[in-house]
Structure formats: C-alpha cells, structure tokens
Amino acid sequence: MRELARMQKASGRRVGVHLTHGEQYFGLLGPYEVEGGWWSSAAPVVERVVRELGVPVVVLRLAHAPSDGSSGHGGHVVYHVEALERPAGRAARRMTAEVAALLGPAERRAGWASAAGLREALAWAEGTLQAAGRAVVGRPEQVRTWNLSALFRFRTADGGGAWLKTVTPSFNAAEGPVIALLGSVDPTLVPAVLGCDPGRGRLLLDHVPGEDLWRPTAGDVVAVVPRLVAAQAALAADGRAAAAGLRDRTLPVLVGHVNALLDRLEAGQAAAPGASGGGEERPEDRLTARESAAARELAARLPALVEELAACGLPDTLVHGDFHPGNWRSDGRSAVVVDYADSAFGHPALDGLRPRQYVDDERWEQIAGVWARAWREHVPGAAPERALELVGPLFHLAYAVRYQEFLDHIEDSERPYHETDPVTEVRRALACVDRGGSGGGGRGGA
C-alpha cells in the first residue's frame, strides 16, 4: 500500500525562506525545523516565520527542493515568502543574480504564486464574502500551497468560516460547475459553493464541519461510497454527465493518451521543454529498455481490455478523479466529498479503485463490496466486481497521464513534486499485469 506508506513519511522539514516585501528583498532566513513533512503544508512555515518577524506573511511557492525522489516529503526545502507588512528592524539587501533568477518571473507560474496574484485572489474571496453578508474577521489562514492549488481558510463574523481554493484552469476541472452538477442529484454530497470564478480557477466554499477521513471506519464507507455511486448512475442515466463539457477520460480516449505518453518517455522527453527538474536525473527515473518494451506490449492489449471493461456494463459518467478517503469529510452525522479538480467524464471503476491505495486490506474489501453492490443496484446485470479486477493497469496509466499533465503546466522549481510520477505509475501498471494477468486483481498500488 504505497500511498498509505507515503502518508506516514517524514513528520517534519528543514526550511529556508527567501523573504520579500514588494520589491524589497530581506535575504535567506533559517533554516528552521518545522512540523509537518509535506512540502505543500504552508501553515507551519507561516507560523514559524511570523513568530520571528512579528508581521503577517504568506508562502508564495516552493523555490527549491531535493530531486532525490522525496516526492513532496521531508528534507531541506526553500520557499519564497512574502511579508504582507514591512518587517521592522530588518534592512533590505541586493539580490544576487542567482536569487534574482530564482525569485523572478518564470514560465508556467501559478497565479497565486506571485504576491500580486495572491493578493488579488484573497481580495476576491473577501469581497465575495462581504457581498454575501459574511464579513471576514482577521486575516485568512494559509493552509496549503503548491503547484496544483492554494488553500486558505477565512473566519467570518457570523461565527462560521469559508475556504478559498485556487487552481490553474488550463489543466483542472471547473470545480464550481462540477459541484453544482453533483449537487443537483444529491445536495448533501457536496460542499456549499459561496462563489466561483472558473476562468481564474477560484472557488469559495462554505466550511464543512468535521475531519477528513484518512482512516475511514466501516460506517464512513457506507456513508460515502453508495451516495457517490447513486449520483454517478443518475447523471449517466439522464445524459447530463456526457453533456457537461467535462474533460474526456473515457477509456478509448485514455488509450490514445497512454500511447502518446509512452512516445515521450521513450524519447526522454517527459520533462517539459527547458525543464531540468532541479537536479541530477537518476537511472530509476526513466523506464529501462525492458520496461519500455513491456509497456508497449501492455498498450497494444489495452483496446481489448477496454472492450472487456465495456462488457461489464458500467456507464461512463462524471468521475471524481481522486476519490481517496482524504477527500471524504464527516462530522459523524453527515459526510461530504470534496476536491473536484481532477474530475472528468470517464469510467467509474477509476474512482472505485482509488481508495485501495489508502486503506488496509480489511477496509478495502469492505469498500470494494459496498461499491460493487451499489452499482449492481443501479445497473442491474452489470459486473462491477469484474470491472475492479480488470481496471488496474488502466487506473495506473490514467494517473501517469495525469501526472504528466501536471509536469507540463507547472514551473521548473516545482517539478520535484511530480518528476518521477509518470514513470512510477507506468511501473505500477506493469506490476498489475505481472500479479494478475490483465487486471492485477483490483488492488491498485498495493
């Protein structure tokens, strides 16, 4: 269970901070030891820097990280941090050419990774809340920032809260419309949207009480999985999922994307043009000749695998795209599914298999059983168990394609988050075949 193991990785980071305020530069602060190993976890960095400076700050982006396969955990990382007020008692200094290049403009930089872009997003959220009669109290809390999104929590005068999420719209789903589509079938399944600006990738959500269900109980599974299946089945039956303009991730289309990705990997072009990945490439970061040949053999068999999956009788529909338990949230009374940036139109078994990488064997057996029973209820005569058995290789290849999309749209300094992910997922697809013939027994990345 690789993803479960990843969640248990480093509990801390060693952090350096390039500090700016507007056009002024105040040098490299730290290193600091902070809690929370995930590089994208901004709150501990903000807390540590505020404690030293006495002024509010925001993390703009990751400026440097190890390219040793850490994949977002631990180690020594460096951030660009913007002080929202000028820090007292600190003299500005001249940037070296190297620092100027590191902090200066870059291709594919996320909108929230610059001081101006982030201030604009925060002002939009505050203005939206104000217009809704929910005045903001205090400064927003920065929770998460990385190449895929930024997440801020606002406290409001009515005693509640709201969450601002920003993504890059060029390679992510428009979450507001996706939530509205699912909510039209089951309003209790999705968070309440307070505002959205799909063109700029901004979403403002009402606070959902409770906690993320990283370790779901049997009751949590029953509270979440059948409701998503019911909504997906309804949207497939009435045709609205097909007509919603979602990214096409139907399996025949996915096969074409897989072949294009293998072309790039074989040619050594997995990196975006001009990207270095921030460090030396390791041999394990590329497929071996033997692995490439095996991947091509698998790709040649994918059309037949797609036909087998079609024979299972499950309809293409809106898929969540990242349906792991960390995106299920509950207060013990009601459960909500969040984070729809990876949503697409595709085969529901891609969602069905996703939790496997995050739970133990006992919980997975329950999830698989609940998921399959729900689909048989809504599509009598379907074979959802067989679909889970078959979909393993395509599941991992779909993620290989998705991770390559990330790499193609993020700036160079952020590439260590995902540099090896496409190759890793191709290897997992091959492992599925080695373990269980065409489908790998439905155990995903276990």
Picking from 147, 177, 206, the residue at the C-terminal end of a domain is 206
Amino acid at 127: G
CATH number at residue 122: 3.30.200.20
CB atoms closer than 10 angstroms to residue 218? 12
**Position 237 in a domain:** yes
Is the pLDDT score of 5 beyond 80? no
232 falls within a domain: yes
Domain stop point among 56, 74, 104? 104
Is residue 253 assigned to a domain? yes
Interval 173-220: pLDDT, tens: 999 999 999 999 999 999 999 999 999 999 999 999 999 999 999 999
Q: In the structure, what pLDDT confidence band is assigned to residue 440 with cuts at 50, 70 and 90? A: very low
The Cα–Cα gap between 98 and 96 comes to 5
Whether 1 is in a domain gets the answer no
108 neighbors 272 (Cβ within 8 angstroms): yes
Q: Give the model's pLDDT for residue 73.
A: 83
> Residue 435's pLDDT is what?
76
Written as six digits, the tokens of 90 are 């600190």
The residue among 206, 234, 252 that closes a domain is: 206
Share of residues in the chain with pLDDT > 90 (%): 84
Residue 178 lies in a domain: yes
List the 328-330 sheet strands across, edge first.
211-212, 328-330, 335-337
Provide mean pLDDT across the span 64-70: 73
pLDDT in tens, 238-276: 999 999 999 999 999 999 999 999 999 998 744 444 444
Same domain, 143 and 199: yes
- Rounded distance, CA 213 to CA 337, Å? 10
The whole-angstrom separation of Cα 342 and Cα 376 is 25
Alpha helices in 138-276 (DSSP H): 175-183, 218-237, 251-266
Q: Residue 300 above 60 pLDDT?
A: yes
pLDDT digits (tens, 9 = 90+) for 314-333: 999 999 999 999 999 999 99
Q: Are strands 335-337 and 12-21 parallel, antiparallel or unpaired?
A: unpaired
The answer, yes or no, to whether the previous bond of 31 is cis (omega within 30 of 0) is yes
Structure confidence by residue, pLDDT tens digits, 17-48: 999 999 999 999 999 999 988 999 999 999 99
Domain check: are 140 and 21 in the same one?
Answer: no
pLDDT of residue 267: 87
Examine the domain organization and report whether 236 and 192 are in the same domain.
Answer: no
The parent domain of residue 62 ranges over 8-104
Specify the CATH number for the domain of residue 97. Answer: 3.90.79.10
Between strands 202-206 and 161-166, the pairing is antiparallel
Contact 396, 445 (CB under 8 A): yes
Nearest 5°: phi and psi at 204? -120, 120
Type and span of the H or E element at 303: helix 289-310
Mean pLDDT of the chain: 91
Do 253 and 235 lie in one domain? The reply is yes
Same domain? For 216 and 311 the reply is: yes
pTM: predicted TM-score of the whole model, two decimal places: 0.90
Q: Give yes or no: residues 297 and 421 share one domain.
A: yes
Establish if 2 belongs to a structural domain: no
Strand residues in 320-426 grouped as ranges (E)? 328-330, 335-337, 344-346
For residues 69 and 36, give the distance between their C-alpha atoms in angstroms, rounded to a whole number. Answer: 18
CA 342 to chain CA mean position, Å:
7
The dihedral over CA atoms of 402, 403, 407, 412, expressed in degrees to the nearest 10, equals 150
CA–CA separation, 48 vs 52, rounded Å?
A: 7
pLDDT of 268: 76
In this predicted structure, the answer to whether residue 7 has a pLDDT above a threshold of 90 is no
**The predicted structure's pLDDT at residue 9:** 52
Q: What is the pLDDT of residue 436?
A: 66
Helix (H) or strand (E) holding 33: strand 24-35
238 and 333 together in one domain: yes
The CATH number linked to 341 is 3.90.1200.10
Shared-domain flag, residues 168 and 285: no
Residues 133 and 16 in one domain: no
Q: 438: closest CA among 302, 313, 322? A: 302
- The closest alpha carbon to 422, from 244, 228, 248, 270, belongs to 270
Q: At what angle do helices 421-436 and 251-266 cross, to 10 degrees?
A: 120
What pLDDT does 256 receive? 98
Question: In 3D, which of 192, 184, 175, 193 has the Cα closest to residue 234?
Answer: 184
Answer yes or no: is 3 within a domain.
Answer: no
Residues 219 and 354 in one domain: yes
Total domains in the fold of the chain:
3
Q: Is the pLDDT of residue 424 over 70?
A: yes
- pLDDT tens for residues 88-121? 999 999 999 999 999 999 999 999 999 999 999 9
Spatial separation of the C-alpha atoms in residues 129 and 133, rounded to whole Å? 6
What pLDDT, in 10s, does the model give residues 174-186? 999 999 999 999 9
pLDDT of residue 277: 43
Q: pLDDT value at position 108?
A: 94
Pull the structure tokens for residue 186: 């089951």
Beta pairing partners, 25: 20
- Same domain? For 288 and 427 the reply is yes
State the average pLDDT over residues 431-443.
Answer: 58
> What pLDDT, on the 0 to 100 scale, is given for residue 222?
98
110 falls within a domain: no
- Residues 335, 377, single domain; the answer is yes
pLDDT reported for residue 68: 67
